[in-house]
Structure 1
Amino acid sequence: MTYVFVLLMCLFASVASAQKDSLRVPPNIVQSALNCMAETGVNPDVLPRLGNPAIYARNDDKRLQKFINCTFNKLGYAKKNGRVRVEKVAELLPRDIDNETRLALKKVVGECNKETGADAAETTFKIFGCFIRTSPMKLSLA
C-alpha cells in the first residue's frame, strides 16, 4: 500500500521547488489513475518518472500510452481521438496566476495538441509528453 501511495504522489508530477512555478493537480486524478492502472496493466515502476521529459522520447510502451489516455478520458480532458480538450485543461489553471502565464500555458497546450500518434492512446501520450517538455510550469500533487 505504501508503494502505491508513493507512486501516486509521483503520478503526473515532477516535484517543483517553488509553489509559484507549479500547477497543482486535482486529487480526483488519483482515483482515475488507480482505475486506469488496473484497466491497462501499466508497470507501476514507470509512474514516478512521468514528470521526466526523457520518458517521452521514442517510448513505445503501449500500456503506458493507454494508461495516460485512459486517465485523460476518464477525467474528460481528452477526446476519443486522443486530442485534449484545451479549454477543459485550461480550467485546471489556478485563478491566481497572472494573465501572461495563463496565456503561455494555454499556448503550450494548444501547440502540443497538434502532436499526432498512430492511435488515440499514442496521440494523448505525445501531447502530454510535449506539455511536460515545454511547459513553463511543472505539475505537482503537493
Structure 2
Amino acid sequence: MTPFLFLCVVMAVAGLDAHNVQLSQSQKDKVHQYTTQCIKESGVKPDVIAEAKKGHFADDEALKKFTLCFFQKSGIVDSTGKLNVEAALAKLPPGVNKADAGKLLEECKKKTGKDAADMAFEVFKCYSRGTKQHVLV
C-alpha cells in the first residue's frame, strides 16, 4: 500500500503558520477509494465531511463510523479504535515533520471513547486540531 497521511481526506484545521504537503497521485487514488468505500459503509453525508475538513466536527455517529472505517483501511487503528503510532508515522508523506507528528500522535493516542468509532473520532479531532501541517488532496 502506498503511504499517505492518516485521514488526510478529512484533515485540517487552518492555522496561520500551517504549511501544506502534497500527496502523490497514487496516494490521492487510495484516499478517494477509501473515502468512497467508507461513505457507503457509514452513511455519512458528504457535507458533514466537508465541514470536518474545515475543522467543524459534528457529533455525528455516521462521521465517527466513517473515521473508524478510513483509519482501519489505512491500517493505523485496530478494530477497537486504538491508534498505532508507528504505522501512522510510517504513512506520513514527505514534508511532514515526523518528530512533531510523533509527539502529537502519542498525545492523541491517549484519547478514549465509548466505542471504537468514538475513540477513532477523538484521535482524529486531536490530531487535526494539533497539527500545523495539512495535506492537500
Identify the TM-score tier after normalising by the shorter chain.
Answer: 0.7 to 0.9
Query: What is residue 126 of structure 1 aligned with on the other side?
Result: 122
CA distance 1:39–1:94, shift in 2 (3 Å) = closer
Query: What is residue 42 of structure 2 aligned with on the other side?
Result: 40
* TM-score between both structures, scaled by the size of structure 2: 0.78
**Gaps in structure 1 of 5+ consecutive residues:** 1-9
The answer on whether the counterparts of 1:53 and 1:133 sit within 8 Å (CA) in structure 2 is yes
How many residues in Structure 1 have an aligned counterpart in Structure 2? 124
Tell me the CA shift for residue 32 of structure 1.
Answer: 1.1
The answer on whether the counterparts of 1:14 and 1:140 sit within 8 Å (CA) in structure 2 is no
CA distance 1:116–1:86, shift in 2 (3 Å) = same
Query: What is residue 108 of structure 2 aligned with on the other side?
Result: 112
- Give the superposed CA RMSD: 2.4
The answer on whether the counterparts of 2:108 and 2:126 sit within 8 Å (CA) in structure 1 is yes
* TM-score between both structures, scaled by the size of structure 1: 0.76
1:57-101 per-residue CA deviation (whole Å, 9 max, x = no partner) reads: xx431111001101111221111110221111111223455xxx3
3-state DSSP of counterpart to 1:138: strand
Which of the two has higher C-alpha Rg? 1
Query: What is residue 80 of structure 2 aligned with on the other side?
Result: 81
Query: What is residue 71 of structure 1 aligned with on the other side?
Result: 70
Tell me the CA shift for residue 14 of structure 1.
Answer: 4.1
**Gaps in structure 2 of 5+ consecutive residues:** 1-7
